[in-house]
């Protein structure tokens, strides 16, 4: 887990700073981003980052201190920002709640520092309080989406959250999420988790049960616990992993996310046994990212049987094990069968997620070979006719594919315990027609949001 917003250089930590830092790192915090609020604290932030491997710094003038930003101090910030452990410009923004600097000074300091971030190619750490519309307007006008960043301690509404996300900004959630009646709870449930990071804003905003006392980076765990509770059935580990990846992407931090063969999400274990596919779907997640729910699925080679088996731990502790991943599992049919055999010997429930082209790929009916090995087959039919299938899925087998996928579903229904067809919820797909087809085949139908993967 990463605390993406801490003020460890503040005087509240003068007595025990190194103890607080050690405590965080020995309790699961992997990295801390320490945030500058003026010239002095930006220097302090860089100093902390120099002293500690896993602390990174940001530099900038907080809206409270906007009135003291001069040409000279802006130049000093620019010099500090060149340090290799400076990960962002911030915190900058607008605070019309406390109004500690005149509003025009706040807006002008905000704009100047966005320009600086764009010059340096650094993301922004943005503080906004009671000035959401004004802040979003400035971010739009300055084309801040070029560098993106985080709206820290997010307290806006859902619409503002979505606007910010569309502009490439992450939302920083902290201890306020644990407070009763926090509006951010419903925002957190609605927005994509791929754009959320967690923070403490220590020494302020302690999460419950430490509310009112000094906050510290180790308490970021309490924010994650609250967030994963809100996002159930995602687990704490799911939410921790995804938000850590988000923070690394946001601040350009290297975290060594190696390609995964076995990867848990919720209470299932997924197996990524190939990166090859016989389709080239226009909507495929592989066109956009290497990551699904915080797991890197881009493999540097096709895994061997041994590698797959070694990647599976405690198969019995999952509800099911699913052949899925970043490609079409039946392309590796022999490996799939061997691994499934190994799992069935342990009485594990096994599912195959497939594009239904196994028979085309192997030029024979492979379904009988899956009997006793696969309990559930989930087939991505995606659309309702062959013209749409060819256009959207671009199968290697051309206009032969759609009919063969349907035939695969029919055969699977005949021989295997459970068959599910999945189709995409998009305007051009005729869901009524899909329902009719699944009724005829006697299989279950699942309608899938093509934007949501994993």
- Contact positions vs ligand SF4 (CB under 6 A): 277, 279-281, 284, 286, 327-328, 355, 380, 393
Which of the choices ligand SF4, Zn ion, none does residue 355 contact, using the CB cut-off of 5 to 8 A by kind?
Answer: ligand SF4
Which residue's CB is nearer to ligand SF4, number 57 or number 379? 379
Closest CA to 9 of 73, 64, 91: 91
Q: List Cα–Cα distances, 438 to 380, 384, 399, 414, in angstroms.
A: 12, 11, 21, 14
Which of the choices ligand SF4, Zn ion, none does residue 418 contact, using the CB cut-off of 5 to 8 A by kind?
Answer: none
Residue 392: CB minimum distance to ligand SF4, A: 9
Per the CB < 8 A criterion, the answer to whether 14 and 36 are in contact is no
Which of the choices Zn ion, ligand SF4, none does residue 164 contact, using the CB cut-off of 5 to 8 A by kind?
Answer: none
Residue 283: CB minimum distance to ligand SF4, A: 7
Which of the choices Zn ion, ligand SF4, none does residue 63 contact, using the CB cut-off of 5 to 8 A by kind?
Answer: none
Which of the choices Zn ion, ligand SF4, none does residue 284 contact, using the CB cut-off of 5 to 8 A by kind?
Answer: ligand SF4
Closest CA to 323 of 281, 258, 369, 274: 274
Which of the choices ligand SF4, Zn ion, none does residue 286 contact, using the CB cut-off of 5 to 8 A by kind?
Answer: ligand SF4
Which of the choices ligand SF4, Zn ion, none does residue 327 contact, using the CB cut-off of 5 to 8 A by kind?
Answer: ligand SF4
**Is the C-alpha dihedral spanning 69, 73, 79, 84 positive or negative?**
negative
Which of the choices ligand SF4, Zn ion, none does residue 281 contact, using the CB cut-off of 5 to 8 A by kind?
Answer: ligand SF4
Which residue's CB is nearer to ligand SF4, number 228 or number 419? 419
Which residue's CB is nearer to ligand SF4, number 348 or number 381? 381
Which residue's CB is nearer to Zn ion, number 153 or number 274? 153
Which residue's CB is nearer to ligand SF4, number 94 or number 429? 429
> CA 135 to CA 156: how far, in whole Å?
11
Residue 393: CB minimum distance to ligand SF4, A: 6
Per the CB < 8 A criterion, the answer to whether 227 and 198 are in contact is yes
Kindly report the CA angle at 167 between 165 and 171, in degrees rounded to 5? 35
Which residue's CB is nearer to ligand SF4, number 239 or number 299? 299
SS3 of 106-132: the string is HHHHHHHHHHHHHHHCCCEEEEEECCH
Residue 417: CB minimum distance to ligand SF4, A: 23
Per the CB < 8 A criterion, the answer to whether 36 and 57 are in contact is yes
SS3 of 12-34: the string is HHCCCHHHHHHHHHCCCCCEEEE
Positions in 185-204 near Zn ion (CB under 5 A): 201
DSSP summary character for residue 252: T
Find the radius of gyration of the CA atoms of the chain.
Answer: 25
Which residue's CB is nearer to Zn ion, number 106 or number 275? 106
Residue 5: CB minimum distance to Zn ion, A: 6
- Residue position matching structure tokens 């924010």: 223
Per the CB < 8 A criterion, the answer to whether 453 and 326 are in contact is no
Q: List Cα–Cα distances, 50 to 43, 56, 450, in angstroms.
A: 11, 8, 44
Residue 367: CB minimum distance to ligand SF4, A: 18
Residue 54: CB minimum distance to ligand SF4, A: 36
Which residue's CB is nearer to Zn ion, number 201 or number 369? 201
Query: How many residues appear in the chain?
Result: 454
> CA 268 to CA 422: how far, in whole Å?
18
270's tokens: 């997924």
Which of the choices Zn ion, ligand SF4, none does residue 328 contact, using the CB cut-off of 5 to 8 A by kind?
Answer: ligand SF4
Residue 241: CB minimum distance to ligand SF4, A: 22
Residue 7: CB minimum distance to Zn ion, A: 6
3-state secondary structure (DSSP) of residue 270: strand
Kindly report the CA angle at 224 between 223 and 226, in degrees rounded to 5? 65
Which residue's CB is nearer to ligand SF4, number 246 or number 380? 380
Contacting positions for Zn ion (CB under 5 A): 201
């Amino acid at each position: 887990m990463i605390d993406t917003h801490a003020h460890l250089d503040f005087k509240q930590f003068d007595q025990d700073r190194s103890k607080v830092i050690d405590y965080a790192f020995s309790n699961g915090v992997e990295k801390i981003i320490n945030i500058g609020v003026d010239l002095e604290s930006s220097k302090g932030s860089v100093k902390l980052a120099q002293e500690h491997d896993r602390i990174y710094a940001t530099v900038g003038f907080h809206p409270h201190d906007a009135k003291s930003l001069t040409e000279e101090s802006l130049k000093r910030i620019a010099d500090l920002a060149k340090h290799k452990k400076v990960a962002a410009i911030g915190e900058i923004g607008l605070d019309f709640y406390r109004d500690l600097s005149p509003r025009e000074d706040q807006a002008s300091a905000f704009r100047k520092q966005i320009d600086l971030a764009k010059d340096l190619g650094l993301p922004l750490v943005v503080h906004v309080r009671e000035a959401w519309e004004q802040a979003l307007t400035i971010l739009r006008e300055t084309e801040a989406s070029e560098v993106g960043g985080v709206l820290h301690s997010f307290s806006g509404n859902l619409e503002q959250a979505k606007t910010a996300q569309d502009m490439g900004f992450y939302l920083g959630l902290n201890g306020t999420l644990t407070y009763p009646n926090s509006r951010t709870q419903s925002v957190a449930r609605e927005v994509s988790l791929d754009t959320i990071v967690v923070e403490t804003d220590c020494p302020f905003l302690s999460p419950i049960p430490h509310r009112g006392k000094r906050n510290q980076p180790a308490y970021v765990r309490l924010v994650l616990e609250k967030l994963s509770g809100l996002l159930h059935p995602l687990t704490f580990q799911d939410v921790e992993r995804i938000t850590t990846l988000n923070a690394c992407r946001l601040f350009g931090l290297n975290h060594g996310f190696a390609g995964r063969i076995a990867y848990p999400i919720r209470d299932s274990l997924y197996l990524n046994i190939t990166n090859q596919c016989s389709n080239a779907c226009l909507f495929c997640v592989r066109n956009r990212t290497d990551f699904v729910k915080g797991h890197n699925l881009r493999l540097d080679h096709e895994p061997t049987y041994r590698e797959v088996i070694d990647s599976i731990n405690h198969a019995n502790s999952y509800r099911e094990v699913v052949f899925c991943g970043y490609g079409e599992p039946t392309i590796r049919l022999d490996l799939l069968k061997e691994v499934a055999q190994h799992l069935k010997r342990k009485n594990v429930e096994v599912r195959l997620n497939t594009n239904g082209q196994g028979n085309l790929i192997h030029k024979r009916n492979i379904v009988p070979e899956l009997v006793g090995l696969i309990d559930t087959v989930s087939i991505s039919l995606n659309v309702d006719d062959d013209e749409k299938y060819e256009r959207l899925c671009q199968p290697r087998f051309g206009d032969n594919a759609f009919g063969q996928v349907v035939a695969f579903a029919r055969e699977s229904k005949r021989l295997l315990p459970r068959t599910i067809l999945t189709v995409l919820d998009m305007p051009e797909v005729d869901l009524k027609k899909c329902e009719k087809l699944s009724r005829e085949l006697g299989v279950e139908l699942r309608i899938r949001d093509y934007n949501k993967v994993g």
